[in-house]
Amino acid sequence: MEKSYKIMIDTNFFLTMVRYKIHAIEEIKNNVKAEFYTTEGVINELKGLSKNKKIKKEFEIIKKIIENQKIILLESKTNDVDKELIRKSKDYVIATNDKELRKKIKENGGKTIFVRKLTFVEMNEITG
């Protein structure tokens, strides 16, 4: 039976996907069976960043991606998004391009996926 992954998408992964027109969710789905999640904290971070006009447009696209891809929104228990993602990395693969966060998740025993060279999603940690 094929393993299914629960993938938690963070703020900069969403922004990288939109900014560089990377169809990361489709690419992941083509390689592994996956369900996608994000947190209220990530959405709140994006809302805060969307005071910037460019990010405001990107956030509108991200909201459509969340809706179209049926990304499940989870309640946040803290305002510290990184801490929350590190904690959730026990149960979810974290999709992030934040090097520091990826390092902390690995130290915590979690797995990450990220966009490499702004062209493809690096999934070695989950695909072998």
The closest alpha carbon to 91, from 111, 117, 68, belongs to 111
**What is the value of pTM for the model shown?**
0.91
**What is the per-residue pLDDT for 47?**
95
CATH number, domain of 111, equals 3.40.50.1010
Q: What is the DSSP letter of 106?
A: H
Q: How far is Cα of residue 71 from the mean position of the Cα atoms in its chain?
A: 10
pLDDT per position as a tens digit, 49-101: 999 999 999 999 999 999 999 999 999 988 899 999 999 999 999 999 999 99
pLDDT per position as a tens digit, 12-29: 999 999 999 989 999 999
The domain in which residue 92 lies consists of: 4-127
* Total domains present in the chain: 1
